[in-house]
Amino acid sequence: MLMNALLCSALMCTSALPQMNMKGIQRPQLRAGGSDASAVEAGNGDLVAAGPTVPAGTATVSASTINLSKNIVGAGVLALASGVAAFSASPIAIVPAMALLLFLGGVSFYTFMLIARVGQEMGTATYKDTWAKIFGSQLSIIPALTIAFKTYVGGLSYTIILGDSFASIASLVGAPTLLRNSNFWVCTLSAFVLLPLSLLRDLSSLAVGSVIGTAGTLYTALFIWLRLLDGSYAAGGAFHSAIAATAQPRFLAASAARPLLNPSAFVLVSMLSTAFLAHYNAPKYFNELAVPTDGSTKQQAFTRVCAQAFGLAALLMGSIMAGGYLTFGGASQGLILNNYATSDPLAFIARLGISASILFSYPLNFVGLREGVLGMLGLRGKAADPSVHTLSTVLLVIVMNGLALKLKNLGLVVAFGGALLGSMLVYVFPALMFIFATRKEEAALAAKGKTLAPARRNEMYANIGLVGLGLFLAAIGCSMVLKNAAKH
């Protein structure tokens, strides 16, 4: 049933593409230092690349749903199985893991819509502008710094995946030892592929990455489930002896020493905090949505878009997490594709597809990082200057990809980034914006002798609790991630 659902999703995404083009949706014209930078403000490390930019107020519900679902699914999806393995090696652990995914996905769905609601009330078009309208431009550095750091983590995840994938591909084709080293590929791809792509000013030609990313991620989900069902990696399976002992399936029943649920579950929680992260584009998606012609409100149409998009993203992420974990259990690696044998031809295609998707998506993420850094340094106005553009690009590529030479654990990157950054962007910042926007509305109503609606007041109190939850998850998540990293 799950395989059929994924296949239906693939067909829906494929069939929707020509329909979107027929409706006049344009390919993105992304230019460094130009006004189009907002189109890549997200920088979610998307394995399913963000869709084309749509003229304001013309996007249909179906087109917005597909684009948003692609925007949500990021590189971290390949690390989720290791998040389950961090707290258990029991097959039953997938049940609470799926419950956590659905719960935190639901919270992310709510806060995504919350940002759009506040933006509509404030009359703003971007996450940054909404924050500045509520808290003042002096404090806009807070979300800007957080988003810039998030794009850095996304780019670092990309580089780790590329290095590991190309090294595995080289092993499969019997390449020399040097070519089987992931650091060789990190350096080579950085110098001859990623840097030149990041220096491009017009990225419209990379829009094909949206199709490649969707196809690659859907194929990976199908491949993972095929290998689970055919038992190729179980004891006695065709590829069981072809992988290292540390990567072979390992399942253990829960015990008193290590119960099914324990504090290490916060590693998975941290990963899931950033798994549904597309929040900085919430006002953009709302503003681009066309006014419904069926009599419903734009807010109702936007709710349908969010429900469908987050639902599709949860289906895809849950399938990859469950399929990977149920295949390898406690041995699930930080990058789940590393568990599969280099001699497995279907794994080769998965690595090739994911790598191709990342090569197209890397520069889109990088533009968001560069724009954010230049903006914080007060150099946004000089971004078009060739020397500023080149120097900033080279330095950022070195700083970001250089760390990938040492840091190889994708699960650690995703979990720590989720704990520290996802909690802020998904839980704390949206709730704070709503709380202070409500306070302003309450003051305005009081000046007119009116009172705030009880439902709005209760929602404000609930968001105060959400701020506390976000801060708690950030603190405990970072602690548990670092503790688990020290064990390994």
The answer to the question of residue 35 being in a domain is: no
> Which residues are CB-contacts of 103 (< 8 A; sequence separation ≥ 6)?
none
pLDDT above 70: residue 251: yes
Q: Is the dihedral of CA 134, 154, 101, 93 positive or negative?
A: negative
SS3 assignment, position 156: helix
Measure the CA–CA gap between 156 and 162, rounded to whole angstroms.
10
What per-residue confidence (pLDDT) applies to 8?
47
How many residues are recorded in the chain?
488
The answer to the question of residue 34 being in a domain is: no
Least confident of 168-177, 261-270, 416-425: 416-425
* DSSP codes of every residue in 72-97: H-BGGGGGHHHHHHTT---GGGHHHH
80 touches 240 (CB < 8 A): no
What per-residue confidence (pLDDT) applies to 56?
53
- pLDDT-based confidence at 26, cuts 50/70/90? very low
Query: Nearest-5° angle of CA 55, CA 62, CA 310?
Result: 105
Closest by CA to 109, choosing from 365, 313, 296, is: 313
What per-residue confidence (pLDDT) applies to 455?
97
Number of domains in the chain: 1
Query: Nearest-5° angle of CA 257, CA 263, CA 269?
Result: 140
What per-residue confidence (pLDDT) applies to 58?
85
Measure the CA–CA gap between 8 and 20, rounded to whole angstroms.
18
pLDDT above 90: residue 259: no
pLDDT above 90: residue 294: no
pLDDT above 70: residue 428: yes
What per-residue confidence (pLDDT) applies to 444?
94
- pLDDT-based confidence at 478, cuts 50/70/90? confident
pLDDT above 50: residue 19: no
* Containing structural domain, residue 93: 2-28+41-487
Mean pLDDT of 406-432: 83
pLDDT above 60: residue 276: yes
What per-residue confidence (pLDDT) applies to 22?
32
Q: How far is CA 410 from the centre of its chain?
A: 13
At 66, phi and psi to the nearest 5?
-65, -45
pLDDT above 70: residue 1: no
Q: Say whether pTM exceeds 0.95.
A: no
pLDDT above 80: residue 86: yes
Q: Which CATH number goes with the domain that contains 57?
A: 1.10.4160
The answer to the question of residue 241 being in a domain is: yes
Mean pLDDT of 184-206: 91
What per-residue confidence (pLDDT) applies to 38?
36
Closest by CA to 361, choosing from 8, 103, 59, 46, is: 46
Looking at every residue in the chain, the average pLDDT score rounds to 84
The answer to the question of residue 33 being in a domain is: no
The answer to the question of residue 163 being in a domain is: yes
What per-residue confidence (pLDDT) applies to 412?
75
295-306: per-residue pLDDT in tens?
889 999 999 999
432-476: per-residue pLDDT in tens?
999 999 999 999 999 999 999 999 999 999 999 999 999 998 888
Measure the CA–CA gap between 312 and 77, rounded to whole angstroms.
13
Least confident of 20-29, 61-70, 76-85, 130-139: 20-29
What per-residue confidence (pLDDT) applies to 145?
85
Measure the CA–CA gap between 20 and 145, rounded to whole angstroms.
34
236 touches 28 (CB < 8 A): no
pLDDT above 80: residue 49: no
Q: pLDDT above 90 covers what percent of the chain?
A: 53
pLDDT above 70: residue 391: yes
| CB-count exposure of residue 267 (10 Å: 0-12, 13-18, 19+) | buried
320-377: per-residue pLDDT in tens?
999 999 999 999 999 999 999 999 999 999 999 889 888 888 998 898 889 889 888 8
